[in-house]
Amino acid sequence: MQNYTNYKVIIIDDSSTDGSLDLYKKYFQFYKINKRYYKLLKTNKKVTALPNHYFSTMLNCHKNDIVLNIDGDD
């Protein structure tokens, strides 16, 4: 069993219409995942992936954090 706790997952919903944000919310509630380990961001206007990743990193990460980018549309 893994017990590493020094991480945070940032999920960006770029005005999606597929219901994925609700699915994430249900997943985190069902597995009782502490909110300190994730952050859900929803944009009001659809933009491309690069601005989403840039601004979410700049606003939510520290300069020494390691950032992994996984794009769910692929």
In sequence order, the β-bridge partners of residue 10 are: 39
User: Which range marks the domain in which residue 19 is found?
Assistant: 9-60
Question: For residue range 28-73, what is the model confidence (pLDDT) as tens digits?
Answer: 999 998 889 889 888 888 888 888 888 888 989 998 999 888 876 6
Q: Is residue 67 part of a domain?
A: no
d(CA 32, CA 11): 17
Question: For residue range 6-37, what is the model confidence (pLDDT) as tens digits?
Answer: 888 888 888 888 888 899 899 999 999 888 98
Q: Is residue 68 part of a domain?
A: no
3-state DSSP assignment of residue 40: strand
Q: Is residue 44 part of a domain?
A: yes
Q: What would the two tokens of residue 59 be?
A: 């606003």
Q: What would the two tokens of residue 71 be?
A: 């794009």
Query: What residue ranges in the chain does DSSP mark as E strands?
Result: 9-13, 38-42
End-to-end CA distance of the chain: 29
3-state DSSP assignment of residue 49: helix
